[in-house]
Amino acid sequence: MESLAAGRRRARAKTFNPKPLAARIDQLMNEKNISMRKSGVESGLDHETIRRIKNGDRPDMTYCILLADYFDINPNEFLQLADWPILKAFDIQRASAENLPPEAVDVALDIAKIPDPGTRKEVAKAVRTLLKKYFSK
């Protein structure tokens, strides 16, 4: 596997296509119904940084991580869209249905049927909270 420094050098040498990253940021801002100013301030950046990214500037890796944290997505998604190397620290493995007990699959399928992404996320969060409370006794 290549080092982070080598990956950054390789990324800088490539031509950056800003459209996929800008489109994903637009999508996430629309889902949250927020402005560039609000997303910038709440993510720890300023709205001008968001504007520059949407206008085609490649964000620094740190900016990708801050934005991903704000939008509650895996930072590797933004790193990839910005043509940066992905980081192993964020390479999260999801459990596959074959390895889960049938009851867990049933719950996951029920949650997946919720059409609104925001509601679906809140229900999943509530289930996790209940599990933590139950198993922390």
What are the extents of the domains in the chain? 4-90, 97-135
Instruction: Indicate whether this model's pTM tops 0.85.
Output: no
Q: Is the pLDDT higher at 14 or at 71?
A: 71
Query: How confident is the model at residue 95, as a pLDDT?
Result: 55
**Range with the poorest average pLDDT among 16-20, 30-34, 106-110:** 106-110
**Range with the poorest average pLDDT among 8-17, 19-28, 84-93:** 84-93
Helices (H) and strands (E) in the chain, counts: 8, 0
Q: Are 111 and 123 in contact (CB under 8 A)?
A: yes
Tell whether the model's pLDDT for residue 93 goes beyond 80. no
Query: Tens digits of per-residue pLDDT, 34-64?
Result: 998 898 889 999 889 999 999 999 999 999 9
Mean pLDDT of 4-9: 84
Task: Please tell me the distance from the alpha carbon of residue 3 to that of residue 67, in angstroms, as a whole number.
Answer: 24
Measure the CA angle with vertex 33, ends 27 and 37; round to 5°: 90
CATH no., domain 4-90: 1.10.260.40
Query: How confident is the model at residue 41, as a pLDDT?
Result: 87
Q: Are 76 and 90 in contact (CB under 8 A)?
A: yes
Confidence of residue 71 (pLDDT cuts 50, 70, 90): very high
